[in-house]
Amino acid sequence: MYYEMAPMEGITTYIYRRAYFHYFGGIDRYYTPFISTHKDKALSHKELQEILPEHNEGMQVIPQILTSSAQEFVKMAKELAQMGYTEVNLNCGCPSATVTTKHKGAGVLENPKQLDQMLAEIFEKCPIQVSIKTRIGMEQDWEWEDILEVYSHYQIAELIIHPRVRQDFYENTPRLEPVKAALDKLQCPVSYNGDLFCVGDVKRVSEQLPGLQACMLGRGLIADPGLVLTIRNGANINKDTLRAFHDEILEEYSRVLSGEKNAMYRMKELWFYMSQLFTEPDKYRKKIQKAEKLAVYESVVNRLFAEQELVDPDCNRFTF
Ligand SMILES: Cc1cc2nc3c(=O)[nH]c(=O)nc-3n(C[C@H](O)[C@H](O)[C@H](O)COP(=O)(O)O)c2cc1C
């Protein structure tokens, strides 16, 4: 089984990925948060930082593109190929209304014929391999049958399935049947993504989906950065490693972002997930969220580490 870090906008930035690789590792493929294509503009400074090879050394990183235009996808893929990338990922899952109304993200699933046309051009012209990260439809599970038929027309490097429809956002339980159908129908490697929060979740999914090549972890891995190492060899995360990991991310954000508020803003997003790894996290999380000065933020984090323990890695520890 391969393990993959899910792309998470604002969270799994290159700074996060690098620190993660330094302190934990055990991830086979890292996906960048989505990069939107632009008609005429070049990549922004922020987008470029994500994909610069020197920011991703030692890791297998796959850039993810969000677009409704095959032409723009191919243009960006060519630029990525020149930087040395051999695979690029198409986002067919983002549920945000600002994205789907422009027929991007999960919005591309609304009309399978148009999806087919877009993929035909992409697969004909893209100079590097293309993988796809997808939901199973916009509103209803039955939409998956036609979408899967479209996917079966192409040599997809890997199909990562988050088996919810767009309408679910992150509610309702991910379904395994659509993933089984994909494993039956497609030749390409299939990866499962969704609500893998503990060792037992990964075990259950692997048992119920024979033939699965990979599991992609998002929120569960951000909450417990040691989760993949626990899955692989039973080792649990400890406070010292978590603290060093945290400090490295904070230091890097403080170095590259202007002003302590921006660095803290990034850290606060992480704490939304990571605080749940501690016994009794609520009062600390609230104070972290309220902190306006770095010194206050750091003193709350110090107290959290000193006063609380890490929770046991059982299956009901996280609620996102
Ligand atoms: C804050 C946040 C940002 C996300 N950003 C992206 C993104 O840039 N690209 C993408 O394909 N999915 C994105 N996702 C979806 C995740 O990659 C993943 O599919 C989802 O969280 C379900 O997996 P999980 O239950 O393991 O978290 C994001 C999810 C969250 C919560």
DSSP conformation class of 34: P
Is residue 150 over pLDDT 90? yes
Report the alpha-carbon distance of residue 177 to residue 163 in Å, rounded.
Answer: 9
Tell whether the torsion through CA atoms of 162, 166, 171 and 175 is positive or negative: negative
CA distance 151 to 173: 23
As a whole number, the mean pLDDT across the chain is 96
At residue 314 the predicted structure's pLDDT band, cuts being 50, 70 and 90, is confident
pLDDT score recorded for residue 259: 85
pLDDT number for residue 26:
97
Nearest by Cα to 39 from 92, 85, 102: 102
Q: Rounded to the nearest whole angstrom, what is the distance from the C-alpha of residue 23 to the centroid of ligand 1?
A: 22
CA angle 14, 17, 23 (to 5 degrees): 140
Test site for ligand 1: of 3, 4, 5, 8, most ligand atoms within 8 A of the Cβ? 8
Q: What is the pLDDT of residue 315?
A: 72
Q: Which residues does a 6 A CB cutoff place in the pocket of ligand 1?
A: 6-9, 11, 33-34, 64, 91, 93-94, 133, 162, 193-196, 217-220
Pull the structure tokens for residue 160. 């990562």
| Residue whose CA is at the smallest distance from ligand 1 atom 26 | 218
The pLDDT, as a whole number, for residue 105 is: 98
* Residue 66 Cα: closest atom of ligand 1: 9
* Tens digits of residue pLDDT in 260-272: 999 999 999 999 9
Average pLDDT of span 208-223: 98
pLDDT bucket at 39, cuts 50 / 70 / 90: confident
Does 157 score more than 90 pLDDT?
yes
Pocket test for ligand 1, best of 14, 166, 219 (most atoms within 8 A of CB): 219
pLDDT at residue 31 above 80? yes
Measured between alpha carbons, how far apart are the two ends of the chain, in Å?
25
pLDDT tens for each residue of 43-77: 899 999 999 999 999 999 999 999 999 999 999 99
pLDDT band for 201, please (50, 70, 90 cuts): very high
Q: What does the pLDDT read at residue 320?
A: 86
- Does position 316 have pLDDT exceeding 90, yes or no? no
| Per-residue pLDDT tens over the stretch 99-135 | 999 999 999 999 999 999 999 999 999 999 999 999 9
Three-state DSSP class for residue 254: helix
Contact by Cβ (8 Å): 183, 152: no
Q: What is the reported pLDDT for 313?
A: 74
User: In the chain, helix, strand, coil percent, each to 5?
Assistant: 50, 15, 35
ipTM: 1.00
